[in-house]
Amino acid sequence: MRDYVLGLDIGGTKIAVGILDGNDKLIGRTQFSAKAGESPEMVFTLLMSSIDELLKRYDLAKDDISSIGVGVPGIISSDARSVLFAPNISILNSFDIYGSLKAEFPDAFIVIENDANCAGYAEYKAGSGLGRKNMIYCTISTGVGGAIIINGDLFRGSNMVAGEIGHMIIHPGGRLCGCGNKGCAEAYAGGANYPRYIKECLDNGRKSIISELAKEHGKIDGEVLSKAIDMADPFALEVFNEITETIGLLFFNIYKLLNIDCYVLGGGFTNVGEKLFNGIREHFEKYRVGTDTHDRVDFIPAHFPSSEIGIYGAALVAKYYKP
């Protein structure tokens, strides 16, 4: 057996597969639509076809694969062998992906992990968190997710669900979040939520250049908000300040609890650029008092592109897995 690792990034819209060599270098990847199969069995058949195509492309056999990591957006069992609940990928809730992969790769070590933990581990092991002892990874995209690295290991918590930082309540009694609570960070900074809030305000008569930009772009998203900010639109600046204040306060609370000094940010909203990081830092620093102000705290953009971070993370979690 040679030391190659498979990373499987299973999402709600696509399933990506990649191979890492013994030096943790991604040598090849492929992907297909997660909706291509009508049943779990059909999706798994497509997955194996993609894996077989990659192995053939690089002249590898199944017994060259030492480990397989599977990243999924859901809650994972304590033995890292099954998906307990994946709201956006319903087929995984009833399909034994561990057993199916084990039948194909009987000698490989196989682990299933939450996708945010995978992304965070990739950044810690080979990305912007390289060399750090402790790190928080935060993805600001459709939702707000996270991963916690403490003393070089993923911290999963008592029930394997640690890192759900998007559902920390930052504004008690505030806007309704998809989880059912009010005031979660995700309700203010998530890409599925702040556009809805903007639209509601515009529909209620709030004036903003966002209206024109959204018509040209086709929707309200981070790109439209960023352009409106650059044009000094008052409403856009107000919304953006609310987002950066939410994330800044979220990080400050984590900092006070865990004293972690490195925060790596990924996800589509980070394309807004330096003004996002400056805004988060400004609000974070606003709450620091006394001796806190002497300690350096870093806010760093993620190293890996979104097309690769899930593959890398799943593969690296499997290769260096510690239960």
Q: What's the average model confidence in pLDDT over 65-92?
A: 84
At residue 75, the pLDDT reads: 86
Give residue-wise pLDDT tens across range 112-145: 999 999 999 999 999 999 999 999 999 998 889 9
At residue 88, the pLDDT reads: 65
3-state secondary structure of 24: coil
Topology of domain 4-121+307-319 in CATH is Nucleotidyltransferase; domain 5 (3.30.420)
Q: What's the average model confidence in pLDDT over 9-23?
A: 91
Using the predicted structure, report yes or no on whether residue 90 has a pLDDT greater than 70: no
| C-alpha separations of 279 from 58, 151, 199 in Å | 45, 28, 23
CATH class, 131-302 region: alpha beta
Question: What is the rounded CA–CA span in Å between residue 135 and residue 126?
Answer: 13
Using the predicted structure, report yes or no on whether residue 301 has a pLDDT greater than 90: yes
At residue 13, the pLDDT reads: 79
User: Is the CB of residue 123 less than 8 Å from the CB of residue 304?
Assistant: yes
Using the predicted structure, report yes or no on whether residue 92 has a pLDDT greater than 80: no
Q: How would residue 109 be classed by pLDDT, with cut points 50, 70 and 90?
A: very high
User: Is the CB of residue 309 less than 8 Å from the CB of residue 129?
Assistant: no
- 128: number of Cβ within 10 Å: 22
Using a 10 angstrom Cβ sphere, with 0-12 exposed, 13-18 middle and 19 or more buried, the burial of residue 158 is exposed
Q: What's the average model confidence in pLDDT over 138-167?
A: 94
At residue 1, the pLDDT reads: 59
Give residue-wise pLDDT tens across range 266-300: 998 999 999 999 999 999 999 988 767 778 999 99
Q: How would residue 96 be classed by pLDDT, with cut points 50, 70 and 90?
A: very high
At residue 83, the pLDDT reads: 84
Question: What is the rounded CA–CA span in Å between residue 128 and residue 34?
Answer: 29
Two tokens, residue 286: 């606003």
Percent of the chain with pLDDT over 70: 97
At residue 263, the pLDDT reads: 98
Give residue-wise pLDDT tens across range 205-261: 999 999 999 999 999 999 999 999 999 999 999 999 999 999 999 999 999 999 999
At residue 70, the pLDDT reads: 96
Task: Identify the weakest region by mean pLDDT among 42-46, 107-111, 171-175, 185-189.
Answer: 42-46
Task: Identify the weakest region by mean pLDDT among 87-91, 156-160, 231-235, 253-257.
Answer: 87-91
Give residue-wise pLDDT tens across range 18-71: 999 999 999 999 999 887 767 888 889 999 999 999 999 999 999 999 999 999
Using the predicted structure, report yes or no on whether residue 12 has a pLDDT greater than 80: no
Two tokens, residue 277: 């990081």
Cβ contacts of residue 211 below 8 Å, gap of 6+?
202
Long-range CB pairs of 241-245, under 8 A, 24+ apart, other chains included: 241/279, 242/188, 242/194, 243/188, 243/189, 243/194, 243/279, 244/276, 244/279, 244/280, 244/282, 244/283, 245/279, 245/283
Two tokens, residue 271: 């394309």
Question: Mean pLDDT over all residues of the chain?
Answer: 93
The boundaries of every CATH 3.30.420.40 domain in the chain are 4-121+307-319, 131-302
Two tokens, residue 250: 């979220």
Using the predicted structure, report yes or no on whether residue 89 has a pLDDT greater than 80: no
